Amino acid sequence: MDNLTVIKIGGNVIDNPEALNRFLKAFASLVGPKLLVHGGGKIATQVAEKLGIETKMVDGRRITDQPMLDVVTMVYGGLVNKQIVAKLQALDVDAIGLTGADGGTVLARKRPVKDIDYGMVGDIEEVDSGQIQFFLRQSLTPVFAPITYTRGGDLLNTNADTMASAIAVDMVRHNNVTLVYCFEKKGVLKDPADDNSVINELYPSLYADHKAAGTINKGMIPKLDNAFKALGNGVAKVIICHADEVAEAVKQGAGTTLKK
């Protein structure tokens, strides 16, 4: 069974052209089959503002009405995705840019309204790992934008962390999978103000302790929930690291490694 590295890159890195270029060079250097899922960063907000479309956020999550869905589809699935693909081609990586609608790879349903109506936001139902494996067998490197589709043919904005986790879990059918979340921090931190206070290994019980103490909070919690869910569903290893250290993390274990 082949090894496969599934990497998610966060929006803060995408917002910084120099940081993104460094990450893509490191990503290109990784040996073996690999797959990239990217977020959208602040570019969608900037484009929406130019178009006179209001951006609404709740607890860091974007409310996606139809005009905003049009914007994120254009920005995530178009501008950002194709810029990344072009840069990877220049680094001799034969990349193919995708959304979940392409090849029917990631099917979702519209999130039901509970306390908050997030609009055209998708909760993932199925991943077609066979189709993704087909791309990999053609020596292509899939680059996924966080857009999915419904059975009725609608597009949905989807959390990129969740998308990376769902793809990694389904790819376990074909590969020994390592899932890596890359962002602007060196890993999961004991002290959010100290970038060197990295927790090298994190177990569920220790994660619960840090949440109770408040040292792990806010946006890190859904990222870690997705990560531990992936571990529980067959992913061999999950790493959270700085984008500049992705090659080191995959090879030697920089950042935070999650364990069952």
| In 30-137, alpha helices (H) | 43-50, 66-72, 81-90, 129-137
Q: Looking at residue 260, what is its pLDDT?
A: 80
Question: Which pLDDT value is given to residue 102?
Answer: 98
- Which tokens belong to 130? 């066979």
The rounded distance, in Å, linking the Cα atoms of 32 and 177 is: 12
**Containing domain of residue 142, as a range?**
2-258
Residue 184 and residue 178: Cα distance in Å, rounded?
20
Q: Binding site residues, as ranges?
A: 40-41, 62, 157
Which residues sit in the known binding site for substrate? 40-41, 62, 157
**How many residues are there in the chain?**
260
SS3 content of the chain, % helix, strand, coil (to 5): 40, 25, 35
pLDDT for the residue 14: 92
Q: In sequence order, what are the residues at sequence separation of 6 or more whose Cβ sits closer than 8 angstroms to the Cβ of residue 201?
A: 256, 257, 258, 259
For the question of whether the overall pTM of this predicted structure is more than 0.85, the answer is yes
Residues near 77 by beta carbon (within 8 Å), at least 6 away in sequence: 97, 99, 145, 147
Residue 12's pLDDT is what?
A: 86
- Tell me, what's the pLDDT at 46? 93
CATH of the domain at 135: 3.40.1160.10
Per-residue pLDDT of the chain (260 residues; tens, 9 = 90+): 789 999 999 878 999 999 999 999 999 999 999 999 998 878 999 999 999 999 988 877 789 999 999 999 999 999 999 999 999 999 999 999 999 999 999 999 999 998 889 999 999 999 999 999 999 999 999 999 999 999 999 999 999 999 999 999 999 999 999 999 998 889 888 887 788 889 999 988 888 888 888 888 777 888 888 889 899 999 999 999 999 999 999 987 789 999 88
Instruction: Please list, in sequence order, all residues whose beta carbon lies within 8 angstroms of the beta carbon of residue 153, skipping any fewer than 6 positions away.
Output: none
Q: Where are the alpha helices (DSSP H) in the chain?
A: 11-14, 17-29, 43-50, 66-72, 81-90, 129-137, 160-171, 204-213, 220-232, 246-252
Domain count, the chain: 1
In contact, 148 and 158? CB cutoff 8 Å: yes
CA 138 to chain centre: 23
Q: What is the pLDDT of residue 194?
A: 85
Instruction: Provide the 3-class DSSP secondary structure of residue 7.
Output: strand
Write out the two tokens for 10.
């966060």
